[in-house]
A and B are shown apart, each in its own frame.
Chain A
Amino acid sequence: MKPQVITFADFQPGTALGVHAESYTPAIAAAWKSIFGQQSEDGAGGPAEAASVAMALTMRAYLTVASPRPPGNVQGRQRFQLHQLPRLGETVSSVVHCIGKQVKRERLYVDLQVQGVGDNGRSLFTGVLSVIWAA
């Protein structure tokens, strides 16, 4: 049976939507370098790359856990607290929570928090995506 599309009504602030684990792999690092540059002065292999990868892993967790989504969602805001940088090869486990929702000027706003933890439980990041939910 096809899973039901997640609608605005389905979100319950304070509840977890799920957990997703991904590794910071050489393929992910290579994808970053192909966009932002191969040299150390571009951030390759350094903190700029790691911070972007942390944000990418946030998006991967959100897209995997909050699925299926209605077409037409728009992200309006991103808050991102970087506690520590992930390391190449590290596995990051991300928990996604709904932390709030509201209707404002006829738009449906949902706040989703993504907390990433790395090896040995070290806290890596806390992100909040504010999304205008389409349905």
Chain B
Amino acid sequence: MDHHDLPDTLVPARMTVSAAAIAAYADLTQDFNPIHVDATFAATTAMGGVIAHGTMSIGLIWQSLQRSAGAEAFVDADLDIRFVKPVRLAETLVASGARRAHEPGVYDVWVRAVADDSDRLVGSLTLATSTSA
């Protein structure tokens, strides 16, 4: 894929985190850690309540990438993210990314909470690109 064909900004992808979504993600990953699925237990922890699985937010980055660059962009894609802050029930998240000016095919990516515009995860997404002649 030619890096000249890539957008400067990835098309945003959004979701509002519901209990049903967390339960479905627990089923998807078989991760039934009570911090994610047991409100009574989660209320007794330092988190003070249920938090979503960290990797669920990465699904939004993949949506953003598909909307921005299509299927070809996924081959040999390289994602490196840090989980910055837990995602709470009922938060609305938005994922996007910005192309780095001097690194062809590399995006800074993030998932943020809409309410306070603070990051839930940050990192980089490197796409396999070539320079057209």
Question: Which residues of A are in contact with B by a Cβ distance under 8 Å?
Answer: 28, 31-32, 34-36, 41-43, 46-48, 50-53, 55-56, 59-60, 63-64, 75-85
B79 CB-CB contact with A under 8 Å: yes
From known contacts A47-B66, A52-B62, A63-B30, infer whether A31 and B80 are also in contact, taking CB-CB under 8 Å: no
Instruction: Name the interface size band of chain B.
Output: 35 or more
Pairwise interchain contact B54-A43, C-beta atoms closer than 8 A: no
What are 15 A-B pairs at a CB distance below 8 A? A28-B28, A35-B56, A41-B67, A46-B71, A47-B65, A47-B70, A47-B71, A48-B59, A52-B28, A53-B28, A55-B58, A60-B30, A79-B79, A79-B81, A83-B75
Q: B51-94 toward A: CB 8 Å interface, digit per residue (1/0)? A: 00111101110110111001101111111111100000000000
From known contacts A52-B59, A82-B74, infer whether A31 and B24 are also in contact, taking CB-CB under 8 Å: yes
Q: Give the interface SS of chain A, mostly helix, strand, loop or mixed.
A: helix
Q: Give the interface SS of chain B, mostly helix, strand, loop or mixed.
A: helix
Residues of B within 8 A of A28 (CB): 28
Which of B26-40 touch A at CB < 8 Å? Answer: 27-31
B20 CB-CB contact with A under 8 Å: yes
Residues of B within 8 A of A47 (CB): 62, 65-66, 70-71, 73-74
